Amino acid sequence: MFYGWYIVGSCCLISLYISGSINLGFTAVFEPIVKEFNWSYTQVSFATSLRGVEVGLLAPVAGMLMDRWGARCVVFCGALLSGLGLVLLSHIHTLTMFYACFILIAAGASAASSTLLMATVANWFHKNMGLAMGIAASGVSLGGILIPLITELTDTFGWRQAMLITGLGMWVVPVPLSLFLRHKPEQYGYLPDGEKRKSAFNPAHTFPLKSEGVKVGAKEALASRSFWIIAIAFLFQMLPLSAVVTHIMPYLSTIGIERSTSKFIAAALPMMTIIGRVGFGWLGDRIDKKTVATLAFALTAFGLFIFGLLSTDRAWLIGVFIIFYAIGWGGGVPILNGLLKEYFGRERLSTLAGLTSGVMMLGMIAGAPLAGWVFDTWGRYQPTWFSLAGLASITTILFYVCLKNASQR
């Protein structure tokens, strides 16, 4: 089997654990932390903003380090650091300590973010890039299976023990798996997709480093209009995502859905994104990627609108929300690196993915605290969901029109 598929599998499992324990699983301990310390929803949500600031600042640095040293070393160190942050989180007693632990967790997560892992996968594939990244990105979706587990640990042993066990698990799962990662296929005697070189291969030498198609440096990419259209469009996808993932269980609680049920709904949402990640990745290999991305954005906008309509009497809409929002959310993930590679090549793909991730994190910084502030102020979440649905709709239209015009220049 072509070694690139081993990298796909490793990235999938690493994303599963990091996403499930840090990003998705936090909703399970949100309310227990609020109750123990009597902090406001805004104060607890601000931890997500700190995580976003850290990832936003460090992801570009991690991307540059990956282009220089490869993913193995960077992801290994990042997973160690995130595990330490989760272990320390189980011992906090003040709001300052709470925020400090999240800074440490985010510092490690920035080195092992799904965006950078997808860039590593993209280096190993060309013809099958969308499918490979869709499979690898499914790890983030599968991380949803950890939400009921973390919820059960929290309800049985308390949130502190749950975070301790989760932190130790970080050293058991992602850390060893990072050792399977490799940077670019040419450095190990391969070509993308496992294709054979026409001339005979001399085992004493590795293939020369080569990128197919366009080659654009990081400075040139940052000066281009296309890069900022892509980055800002995905920023406005991260804004509602941060709010939804952090507040889904508290929101469902406000409309009368029990915690024992909401944990499975929270788990089903990311797991349903597997359809979008694999399906849209496959689709992106066959039709125009900006059209695929636009479709994904439109689905998330409609899903957010449905989310705002949920109530005890309209509980059946939960299924509609999960289908549309999850498939749209998942569909955008493999397309991001595909767009970057299509427009700028893979010479500095990890660096550009890190820079894009840094821009996207502005959405994470704002989304969760915004939803928390709205609830603290008005006692309801619906204004947040309807406003974000409108913003997502406008972004969808502007993304397609602006990127199409930029491509024609």
One-character DSSP codes across 265-324: HHHHHHHHHHHHHHHHHHHHTTS-HHHHHHHHHHHHHHHHHHHHT--STTTTHHHHHHHH
**Whole domain around residue 154: which residue ranges?**
3-193+214-408
209 occurs within a structural domain: no
201 occurs within a structural domain: no
Question: Using one digit for the tens of pLDDT, what is the confidence trace for 178-194?
Answer: 898 887 787 777 778 77
15 close to 143: Cβ distance less than 8 angstroms: yes
Q: What is the DSSP letter of 21?
A: I
Which contiguous run of DSSP H or E holds residue 38? none
Q: How far is CA 165 from CA 10, 43, 90, 150, 153, in A?
A: 22, 25, 9, 9, 9
The pLDDT value recorded for residue 386 is 93
Which contiguous run of DSSP H or E holds residue 172? helix 159-172
204 occurs within a structural domain: no
283 occurs within a structural domain: yes
Question: Using one digit for the tens of pLDDT, what is the confidence trace for 61-97?
Answer: 766 777 777 788 888 988 999 999 999 999 999 999 9
Provide the number of structural domains found in the chain: 1
167 close to 83: Cβ distance less than 8 angstroms: yes
199 occurs within a structural domain: no
Domain of 104, CATH number, reads 1.20.1250.20
pLDDT of 162 over the 90 cut: yes
Higher pLDDT residue, 125 or 171?
171
342 occurs within a structural domain: yes
21 occurs within a structural domain: yes
Q: Which residue has the tokens 């009368």?
A: 256
207 occurs within a structural domain: no
Question: Using one digit for the tens of pLDDT, what is the confidence trace for 255-314?
Answer: 888 877 888 888 888 888 888 888 887 777 777 788 888 898 899 999 999 998 888 788
C-alpha closest to that of 48 among 101, 127, 121, 120: 101
